[in-house]
Structure 1
Amino acid sequence: MAGVAGLAMAASLPFSAAFADDEKVLRVGMTVADVPQTTGQANQGGEGTRFIGLTLYDALINWDLSKSEVPSVLRPGLATEWSVDDDTQTVWTFKLREGVKFHDGSDFTADAVVWNLEKLLNKESPQYDASQAAQASQWFGAIASYEKIDDMTVAITTKEPDATFPYQIAGIMYSSPAQWDKLGGDWGKFAQEPSGTGPFMLDRLVPRERAELVKNPNYWDPDRVPASDRVILMCMPDASTRVAALLSGQVDFIEAPSPDAVPRLKSSGMQIVTNVYPHIWPYQLSYQPDSPFLDLKVRKAANLAIDRESLSQFLGGLAVPAKGQVTEGHPWFGNPTFDITYDPEQALSLMQEAGYGPDKPLHIKLLISTSGSGQMQPLPMNEFIAENLTAVGFDVEFEVFEWEALRARRRAGAMAPENEGADGLNNSWAFWDPNIGILQAAASDMTPPRGFNWGGYSNPEIDELAKKAKVAFDPAEQDKLLGEIHTKMVDDAMWIWVVHDLNPRALGPNVKGFVQAQNWYQDLTPVYVDN
């Protein structure tokens, strides 16, 4: 039914697309089922940030998404420079960019920065928004305090020395206090008329259907004033719906085309764009007292049972087998001794040593999604993997969620009552940020809501290395420590790692300007349809 509904929705596109003849319009088919939250901190995962967070808003530190040939790096955003106090290594000073205005015309100043941090961190402030705070919790956990130094300078103090803090502050977006006041201090009204500093402005919002963005001609960065006058973001969680909409000319750009549709798309003249980027499709495992994955033999067996090469071929070559959290050759890969490969005989032997096998299967319950940000094709992929696991003695049960509902289960942690009985959770994961990719995933003090250690994994050696990496302000030293952590993660089979996807997108033949960065985020400002 989702596909039928999606096709019906796609067929209605021309009705609302009666814009000026000379207006450059880009129509995008997203994988999400609802328009991401527009108030500042987008929901719907990385895709929500990609299409709403980074279009309507900016952070103090932005990502440079202009290059495809090298991994993305941080660059100045609403702050032109930042530094950490040498003595304490906890006080970060941000010099703000002069002349930046919100979409409503009000000025971006230090007062606006403090106001936005209050909306996330201070439950007593009038502007506090629990919904935005939930989405930003992964970014503000290190913050102890903040203060205005002068109109264009802010100091933010972390709870402890943290060399990864610039990556974290890059996730916090800034909404207009003046617009919030104008709308009576109502975030619901603000969602319909949001005001950020970003390169696009919201023109129309239809929940569960579309968001229409228009160019911000006065954007502060002249190099990123949008090439398109209007971008229409369409909710199309069903892959076949997205492909049909692109082939019929109802959209110009789609996320995650289904692998079996790629040959047809290519033969129809569509551009298939892929690139390596820091992303992994894993199962996060539970380490609660009743979890079968407390047994290292079971964890290793599950990793060895999966035929990743065949799965990558099943995905049309749009993914590559994983050997751990990060890709081989990455500065953080290290030197693990556990080789994650396809070895069903060894997997079966390990399961038998643990007391299980095809004649005495081990029941496991995995939480998965129907679609969503970075999930590729989760339903057929999970069915493929279930067959692999069953062959070596697992009895796999899936509990299926809509993407944002699954994220809520992830944020709650395996220890939450609603996750009782869940042995694993299939959530795609990014590792461009060492804090999220490695440290918060593996350190024992980073269970939700503070961090991303969903299952409650604990390894004292990793904890000690994580403490050292957090205060390693020298990049080379930090890379070395992260490599040592990753080595231990793999050797301990901390998660079940499956594939690194190649972030496929399909574009119409007349779409120009798109540069696929090696990042989960992408920049829509240079993209346009050449009519």
Structure 2
Amino acid sequence: MNVLKTHLKLYAPVVAALTAAPAMAEDLTIGLASEPTAVDPHYHDLSPNNAVGLHIFSALGRLDAEQEVHPDLATSWETEDDNTWVFKLREGVTFSDGSEFNADDVVFTFCRVMNNESSISGTATTEVTNFASVEAPDPYTVRIKTKKVEPLLPELLSQIMVLSDGIAEHGELSFDLENDCGVTGAWPSVDDFNNGKAAIGTGPYVLEEFTKGSSITLTRNENFHGETPEWDKVTFKPVPSSGPRLAGLLSGDYDLIENPAARDIEQIENNEGLEYTAAPSNRVIFLQMDTGRDDSPFIEAADGSNPFQDERVRRAISMAIDRQAIVDRIMDGFAEPAYQFVPGTMFGALENPEPIPYDPEGAKALLAEAGYPDGFKVTFHATNDRYINDSQVAQAIAQFLTRIGIETELDAMTRSIFFTRRSNREFSFSMGGWGSSEGGAASFLRQYVTTGNEELGVGASNYGGWSDPEFDAVLLEAITTIDNEKRAGLLQQAVKLAMDKQGFIPIHFESSIWGYRKGLHYEGRKDQYTLAYEITSDNGQ
């Protein structure tokens, strides 16, 4: 089901209170479905972290709601050859502390990415690892030479938020990783960002306070180089449960909330004082299996083997899951079954992928053929506070698999515990989500499916150790191909290989919903980010 952007009216018991509300204040309070784990923009590549980071920091480029890249701290970029990019920087930009932005800050940022001991899964290192050299021939030019061809460098660098070099003691800066790039003091820690000490950026807002589990408060950055945002002060409140989020919207505690439950949309539609936006996203919910170890910690098979290493078992798991039922009954129609890892409209995707049939009897036959006629036992790990209805989706998947003989015990946990354990490869079978924000089909494939290779900057999230030489060869050629038409064809070939071999199993694409009080406007984004500076009001227009 395609969910189009919608603006509709809603429910009635509190209409009088809502319509009698005073004129728009200059403050905005937002109820978040998932709390950011840090303000440090290089700590963990999570949507909630990235979204809050974009309020405080800027990057060389910025991605719009449709994921197209535009200039930001860089005004332009061009290639001198296949491996050399030149970025011209915006002059007259200052950080929130009044210091001037220039090329040294960009060099420092790349160095800090590679010197961030607290980062999860080497966030942002994939791009920087590919840099053979970074030079600043003048204060407003940065020349980057890559080790391997990277046709998507501007899109990738739009994900790396730029820091002020003033947050660390240093001498003359250069991209010399072996000698700490000229940094003589301590590299800033995640705590330095969370307490505000290092949270100095060029974004539209300044961090006032970050209290984990309670709120994040931002105030407008008067030094911001872009269009002045409407709101003087923005407060984000983490509210993981959809019921309390909706209650807060109805009572006026929140001006806008993320992801009201789809079952509550009718209530919102009938309320004269509320509106909502629903938009398709690029986020796929998928299953990841430990295929790289013979002895995996959470599997019990009669013969002591790891069943996930057999393609027939993986295919049986995929066939045992009724994706349409999950979309209809758990997601209330606000999702689409996924038969690949990015929507068909994205670059390099299959336009009309073959649907994966729901065939439990066929799945049982495949298990028997693979040597597991009586199935096996597995513990299935998932989050219960990160993705839309994640615990309910995980419960349904566990039930589907148990029905075909794979006795599946669900262990759902908070995202902070889950992501740390997953990055340590503690799981045998887990459910994750990934929003492809740049590179189209390459985004998921290079991060998760490709054999891990730190030197090549691929496979950083391949926690299950999946490895297929045929797939790797096609994908690595694709991501180093400059010609768009040829690259798209190679990516489609890689998608088909990944789906044929079932190294990973896609379940559905989320849709995103935002509920807000009447008089506000938010068009929504494919990356699911809630950006306060893109929220407008009738008063501000």
TM-score, scaled relative to structure 1: 0.84
2:293 aligned with 1:305 = no
Taking the aligned partners of 1:472 and 1:186, their CA distance within structure 2 comes to: 36
Residue 437 of structure 1 aligns with an amino acid whose one-letter code is: F
Shift of 1:337: 8.0
| Equivalence for 2:415 | 403
| Equivalence for 2:447 | 440
Shift of 1:156: 2.2
2:157 aligned with 1:169 = yes
Shift of 1:109: 0.4
Change (3 A) 1:29 1:94: same
**Contact 1:336/1:488, CA 8 A, preserved across alignment:** no
**Contact 1:59/1:77, CA 8 A, preserved across alignment:** yes
| Equivalence for 2:107 | 114
Find 2:473's aligned residue among 449, 464, 482. Answer: 464
Task: Report how many aligned residue pairs link the two structures.
Answer: 484
Shift of 1:383: 0.9
The 5 Å alignment of 1:247-258 reads 247-258=250-261
List per-residue Cα deviations over 1:158-209 (Å, max 9, x = no partner).
Answer: 2222223223212211122335569997644453332100011112322221
| Equivalence for 1:16 | none
| Equivalence for 2:380 | 366
SS of equivalent to 2:343: coil
| Equivalence for 1:195 | 200
Taking the aligned partners of 1:527 and 1:59, their CA distance within structure 2 comes to: 20
Find 1:317's aligned residue among 333, 347, 355. Answer: 333
The 5 Å alignment of 1:57-206 reads 57-65=57-65, 71-86=66-81, 89-121=82-114, 123=115, 130-131=118-119, 134-179=122-167, 187=189, 188-193=191-196, 194-206=199-211
Taking the aligned partners of 1:272 and 1:72, their CA distance within structure 2 comes to: 22
Taking the aligned partners of 2:533 and 2:351, their CA distance within structure 1 comes to: 40
| Equivalence for 1:39 | 40
Taking the aligned partners of 1:330 and 1:22, their CA distance within structure 2 comes to: 38
CA RMSD of aligned residues (A): 2.7
Taking the aligned partners of 1:520 and 1:147, their CA distance within structure 2 comes to: 34
SS of equivalent to 2:399: helix
2:350 aligned with 1:341 = no
**Contact 1:37/1:48, CA 8 A, preserved across alignment:** yes
Shift of 1:498: 0.8
Residue 430 of structure 1 aligns with an amino acid whose one-letter code is: G
| Equivalence for 2:17 | none
Shift of 1:153: 1.0
List per-residue Cα deviations over 1:331-356 (Å, max 9, x = no partner).
Answer: 42338986412122221221222233
Mind listing any 5+ residue stretches in structure 1 that lack a counterpart?
A: 1-19, 66-70
**Contact 1:40/1:53, CA 8 A, preserved across alignment:** yes
Taking the aligned partners of 2:450 and 2:106, their CA distance within structure 1 comes to: 30
Mind listing any 5+ residue stretches in structure 2 that lack a counterpart?
A: 1-21, 171-184, 295-305
Taking the aligned partners of 2:55 and 2:286, their CA distance within structure 1 comes to: 28
Residue 38 of structure 2 aligns with an amino acid whose one-letter code is: Q
Shift of 1:57: 0.6
**Contact 1:511/1:528, CA 8 A, preserved across alignment:** yes
| Equivalence for 2:399 | 387
Change (3 A) 1:255 1:84: same
Taking the aligned partners of 1:133 and 1:394, their CA distance within structure 2 comes to: 30
List per-residue Cα deviations over 1:71-103 (Å, max 9, x = no partner).
Answer: 3211111111122331xx222221111111100
Residue 472 of structure 1 aligns with an amino acid whose one-letter code is: T
**Contact 2:380/2:398, CA 8 A, preserved across alignment:** no
SS of equivalent to 1:113: helix
Change (3 A) 1:330 1:189: closer
Residue 28 of structure 1 aligns with an amino acid whose one-letter code is: I
List per-residue Cα deviations over 1:86-131 (Å, max 9, x = no partner).
Answer: 1xx222221111111100010110111112222222x4xxxx5644
Taking the aligned partners of 2:44 and 2:524, their CA distance within structure 1 comes to: 22
Change (3 A) 1:185 1:267: same
| Equivalence for 1:49 | 50
2:265 aligned with 1:265 = no
Taking the aligned partners of 2:220 and 2:315, their CA distance within structure 1 comes to: 51
Taking the aligned partners of 1:93 and 1:153, their CA distance within structure 2 comes to: 7
SS of equivalent to 2:512: coil
List per-residue Cα deviations over 1:440-496 (Å, max 9, x = no partner).
Answer: 322224489962222121222211111211221122221111111001111112212
**Contact 2:452/2:458, CA 8 A, preserved across alignment:** no
Shift of 1:132: 8.1
Shift of 1:318: 1.0
Residue 307 of structure 2 aligns with an amino acid whose one-letter code is: P
SS of equivalent to 1:247: helix
Structure (1/2) with the larger helix percentage:
1
Residue 59 of structure 2 aligns with an amino acid whose one-letter code is: A
**Contact 1:23/1:229, CA 8 A, preserved across alignment:** no
Taking the aligned partners of 1:42 and 1:517, their CA distance within structure 2 comes to: 23
